[in-house]
Amino acid sequence: MDAPSAIVIRPLREADLAEADRVYRLAFGTQFGLADPMEFRGDTAIIRTRWTTDSRPCFVAAIGERVVGSVIGMDWGSAFILGPLTVEPAYANRGVGRRLMEAAMAFVADRRFSLAALYTLPNSAKHLHLYESYGFDAQKLTPVMAKTPTAGAAAPLLWSALVPDDQGNAVAACRAVADSVFPGLDLTREIAALAAQGLGETVLLERDGGIAGFALCHLGKDSEAGSGTLFVKFACVRPGAGGDFVALLETCETLAARRGAQRIIAGTNMAREPAYRIMLARGYRAEIVGVAMLRPAQPGWNRPEIFALDDWR
């Protein structure tokens, strides 16, 4: 076994993607006790899609050319979403995770985000202690929920179907809706990545000639969804607009059904209780439950008046 001093923390490079994906699946698959750990998350592509979207907050722990751990981050304007952070099981409990966290938190400090947030397992004392030691505060649970979608009558309004000028206007409108949820929150990179990488669709909710909400929907193999699935990575309407939230959910379900998805997956923090209750009433049921951790200690957009979906895994 190599000494910890042989491990170097450096930016994740394109040549590292396959190895970083291997470590990611092996680490989580082992933790969840899968017979074949490499089957974790099926044919999704988490590491590659996020690195391609923005490589700056992505780091690896390496011994020579061999990757033994990685941490990925997402720059959402004023908010930084940290994760996944994974370490090869053979190198667990040797300080590799802490060294990866130091690299990620240096990026956070340099960018001066208003908020850093992550999702972890509430029953893992080791993970809770690691993140608490970097100033993250454990808050309410985030159920990741699923249901079988059914199609509504109206076709979804998709960003990809707009002409270029209208696409630019729609992105600006989405940014304004996100800003109403949390000042400076900006999903522009994610909207662009969905289109550029062919990962899925950005669904737009139109009201009175303007954009009242939007949803970033990954679809199928080699996205963050996996085969037969529509995954809502992020969605929101303006605060208090519960009716618009229902309409946005219906639109996402319609897109899933029309694209042949057997499941739709979406998460919402339980601090957004009205949104959570709406999802339960529509037949969504939790498949996995994590805990939101935020730095500094604050609710962010996990508040009762917020109608939003997200999954920070």
Half-sphere exposure of 124 (CA within 13 A, CB side): 15
What is the residue-level pLDDT of the chain in tens, covering all 313 positions?
A: 565 668 999 999 999 999 999 999 999 999 999 999 999 999 999 999 999 999 999 999 999 989 999 999 999 999 999 999 999 999 999 999 999 999 999 999 999 999 999 999 999 999 999 999 999 999 999 999 999 999 887 889 999 999 999 999 999 999 999 999 999 999 999 999 999 999 999 999 999 889 999 999 999 999 999 999 999 999 999 999 999 999 999 999 999 999 999 999 999 999 999 999 999 999 999 999 999 999 999 999 999 999 999 999 9
Spatial separation of the C-alpha atoms in residues 77 and 87, rounded to whole Å? 27
The reply to whether 145-310 shares the fold of 4-113 is: yes
What pLDDT score was predicted for residue 154? 85
Domain 4-113 has CATH 3.40.630.30: yes
Q: What is the DSSP string of 177-246?
A: HHHHHSTTB--HHHHHHHHHTT-EEEEEEEETTEEEEEEEEEEETTTTSEEEEEEEEEEEE-TT-HHHHH
User: Which residues does residue 229 pair with via DSSP β-bridges, in sequence order?
Assistant: 263
pLDDT, one tens digit per residue, over 129-183 is 999 999 999 999 999 999 999 988 788 999 999 999 999 999 999 999 999 999 9
- Cβ atoms of 115 and 298 within 8 Å: the answer is yes
N-terminal to C-terminal alpha carbon distance within the chain: 30
145-310 CATH fold: Aminopeptidase (3.40.630)
Spatial separation of the C-alpha atoms in residues 234 and 213, rounded to whole Å? 11
- Cβ atoms of 151 and 253 within 8 Å: the answer is yes
Domain range list for the chain = 4-113, 145-310
What pLDDT score was predicted for residue 152? 86
Report the b/e string of 95-108 with b at 16+ CB within 10 A: ebbebbbebbbebb
What pLDDT score was predicted for residue 4? 60
**Model confidence pTM above 0.85:** yes
